[in-house]
Amino acid sequence: MFNYLGDKQLGFLRTKFYYNQLDNGRNVCQNASFYNLAKNELNKNDGLQDVSDKILKALCYVHEKSFTETSVNDICDFLYFWLGNILLDKMKNNHVFHDVIRNLFDILINDKKKICTAPTYYINVKSFKDIKLFFDYSQDYDSYIGQLHAHNPPCNNNYKEYLQKYVDTYNKFQRECQDKRPYYSYCDVFDEYFAKKKAKYLSNWTCKLEHNEPKEIEESDDSEATEEQLPKTYRMEERTANFRGGFEGGREQNAEHTGSSNFLQEQDTFVNNSDSDNSNGTPPSIISKSVTGAVSVAGALVPSYLLYNVISIMFNKYNAL
């Protein structure tokens, strides 16, 4: 059951990768110009003292990435929602959480310029976590296109709950925005994030809960996926809805990726580029063992086990002559 969706596949989602990177952060920025200013900004807000170090490490992670990445827009978008989630939960006066984020973004600079830009529109306390789910679901869309290409695949409880929350939230706000658009500004944000994504997938994706996760076939040590070895899920020039207005470049969001053959071909391209793409801790993509074991025959991808069976049959027929 190679397509079982468990914790490993859940960890390949774009949101899981980036939020995990921010949770861990970096602890090498004590001498950077932004560090003490950011520390003072956090400490003057009641409730943030116990998460100050965690936030400073996340800011440090983004600061360090800004020296190695040509664009950190993706990371900044994740940082915005990661910060907002913490501030809303921890701040005594969380109605000013957006001001704190904007101040931290203004403080976060490298040797050249300001690294991140906060949204130009205001998100209130009540709407923030719903809009975060819009953002997260839109970011994981391409990963789900690959992982859920089979109908109702088996999954564990963690995977199912994560997916179901997305689908339920999407369906709720899709109905609200159709019925009550004039009164709800978050509908514009909803449309922005999902404009180029297929509603029939977003509203219906599901997986079949199976508690007994099958054991994976043991392979050699060098086949184990690591952060450095895993290729990107998104190419850097491909953007979803962003805070600086509109959509940036790139192709339509996987509009044609509805079949497993398209998915396999794209993943094969990613595998070939993995050595050069992942030295900087870029996000993982979905790689099944059947893909990594695939070879090209007459321009088509053929899994290695199937090719082996074909060769064996031909060999046996030859011996029978």
Express as a percent the part of the chain with pLDDT over 70.
Answer: 64
**What are the tokens at 185?**
């500004």
In three-state secondary structure terms, 7 is helix
Q: What's the whole-number mean pLDDT along residues 138-143?
A: 97
Please say if the pLDDT value at position 318 is more than 60: no
Q: What's the whole-number mean pLDDT along residues 177-201?
A: 85
Closest CA to 102 of 79, 125, 129, 127: 79
How crowded is residue 91: how many other Cβ atoms within 10 Å of its Cβ?
Answer: 18
Q: What's the whole-number mean pLDDT along residues 217-245?
A: 40
Q: Are 227 and 278 in contact (CB under 8 A)?
A: yes
Residue 26 has what pLDDT? 97
Looking at per-residue confidence, does 217 or 106 come out higher? Answer: 106
pTM for the whole structure: 0.69
**What are the tokens at 248?**
């940036």
Please state, in angstroms and rounded to a whole number, the distance separating the CA atoms of residues 62 and 110: 10
Ramachandran angles phi, psi of 5, nearest 5°: -105, 100
Amino acid in the structure at residue 301: L
Name the band, by pLDDT with cuts 50, 70 and 90, for residue 219.
very low
Please say if the pLDDT value at position 132 is more than 70: yes
Q: In whole angstroms, how far apart are CA 261 and each of 230, 264, 300?
A: 20, 5, 9
Residue 280 has what pLDDT? 47
Average per-residue pLDDT for the chain: 75
Please state, in angstroms and rounded to a whole number, the distance separating the CA atoms of residues 25 and 281: 12
Task: Specify which residues 205 forms β-bridges with.
Answer: none
Residue 276 has what pLDDT? 40
Please state, in angstroms and rounded to a whole number, the distance separating the CA atoms of residues 267 and 265: 5
Please say if the pLDDT value at position 216 is more than 70: no
Q: Are 231 and 277 in contact (CB under 8 A)?
A: yes
Ramachandran angles phi, psi of 137, nearest 5°: -65, -40
Please state, in angstroms and rounded to a whole number, the distance separating the CA atoms of residues 81 and 77: 7
Please state, in angstroms and rounded to a whole number, the distance separating the CA atoms of residues 110 and 7: 36
Ramachandran angles phi, psi of 208, nearest 5°: -95, 120
Please say if the pLDDT value at position 65 is more than 90: yes
**What are the tokens at 285?**
């993509």
Closest CA to 230 of 42, 14, 4: 14
Locate the domains of the chain by residue range: 7-11+126-305, 17-107
What contacts 221, CB < 8 A, 6 or more positions away? Answer: none
Angle at 216 between CA 212 and CA 220, to 5 degrees: 165
Amino acid in the structure at residue 260: S
Please state, in angstroms and rounded to a whole number, the distance separating the CA atoms of residues 257 and 286: 14
CA within 13 Å, CB half, 315: 6
Ramachandran angles phi, psi of 2, nearest 5°: -70, -20
DSSP assigned state of 241: B
Please state, in angstroms and rounded to a whole number, the distance separating the CA atoms of residues 176 and 171: 9
Residue 311 has what pLDDT? 47
Q: What's the whole-number mean pLDDT along residues 160-186?
A: 87
Residue 183 has what pLDDT? 61
Name the band, by pLDDT with cuts 50, 70 and 90, for residue 168.
very high
Please state, in angstroms and rounded to a whole number, the distance separating the CA atoms of residues 135 and 82: 11
Amino acid in the structure at residue 136: D
Please say if the pLDDT value at position 196 is more than 50: yes
H helices of 25-66, in order, are 35-43, 52-65
Name the band, by pLDDT with cuts 50, 70 and 90, for residue 116.
very high
